A and B are shown apart, each in its own frame.
Chain A
């Protein structure tokens, strides 16, 4: 605290009162920001754990999906599979919204019909095998997982940015603003005490002088 700079203020009692009020307010803001930071960090860690799990799951699904596709290619041949795939293209609906985590706007993505029934996939079931069904199912799962992961990773990014900003604010209050106000209050209090002491000494001196004059 002693090394903290002093604010440029007029050495008056009014200024001291104002500074004391400002200190109370700064402490209050600091406490709220710190609390908010703690919550944001807890949310961040919980989402980060979730993101890691989802990423691992997605990687596993990727290898399984491509494995199933390779088997389907091997069984039917490239030409046949390409021909069947032409008819299965579709529009894919995702509900995009936002959620608010402690004032941070993060995305919310919800796939509407990522996984379709066997009959809705678009290829002729009598001409195809179980291998195509398996590959389709796995890729649909993959799509759903990718959307979930996209949401989680974007959330992490936004929370990370907010945490960084919040930490800076908390640090500024904790290490610069509050110590400066405290140092200024201390400086002003000492100055007033010093002034009071000087005043008392002066009065004593005047009293002595007056007494001496009266004696003369």
Chain B
């Protein structure tokens, strides 16, 4: 596995990266027929004469898909084509029942947008192909013993988003794709699940002498189905290109397949082998001409988007940038956070944010906290108990464990399990016992060896089962030893 030097100063070449993203829309039905969308259902149970390409059938565009595509274009601040048209993209493959894909070509629905610091070249609508399953060792159609087709996926509405080549590192590409994914998820237009293929990403990669503005010959990396593979694939391709160019070679325009297992890049087809898709306007469809009412409806459906939310959270409660981004990009966390914040005005917003993004995430992983037993107001209450020193930090984590397991209110759990901070007189007694029981440590502390304090505080914590504040115990020990 090659590694990529990421310090620009050390590099003779800089990568130029653009992304092409396919997004399956989560409409009720397919792009051009009434079949329900599905994932993982029994093969060929969601098909009809239209999506099987039977003779005489005709496509009818899905209004909801157009609505979703309008929302996406608005969210990406694109310019609308008053009349965009569908084309036929012709090629033979068993997953393409009509022998052509209905897609948009020279007049896409949207052009010239932006998300974050990356310009969006175009956004268009098309239909997905069916799914091929190859029997045999190769796992690909060449060398397969047999191939079968599941047409359930065929005709699923897709939005293709193409960026300008504004990205300059694999990490930046990954980061931007995360922002796009969060944005699409927030719009509610797609499941954006890379494992299941509802979000798929190709990358166009070229390199150029660092600091210049020329564009080199690009290669296209196909279907990297996770953020990690995307970053690794681009990194590997940049290294490959750097090696070729450094050795005086020339980059060939080709389409490459990245194997995440081996990290190897293999050529799918060269420029000479590239398809002539013979695009021409789809005569079975009329142009898409969104009305003002359709646009109004799409605008009204736009929620606050992650980029804006991150800015707001950074500005208003004053969260650190990374925390604000995490809450904004995972809108389930953001929603939970803001709901908790609203439930208890006394809670410190920054501390609460840290409890959501660190402690809660550590326990729930990718699960939406709204689907967990933890109520937002309960977490807010717990954070308040910590900040009013009614419970220690470590005890609070135990309380959170209990809340994640069984729900409940923190105060009740604290009471039930006796996790409240030890009362001052009780603590004094325990501290005195600890001093008596650790004469060596006491000697060392008196001698100025601060580290020895740990043994005494540890003893107190053991005896209180964590119901004491470490700092407070230290203060008491010093006072008792006359070091205050």
Do A and B form a real pair?
Answer: no
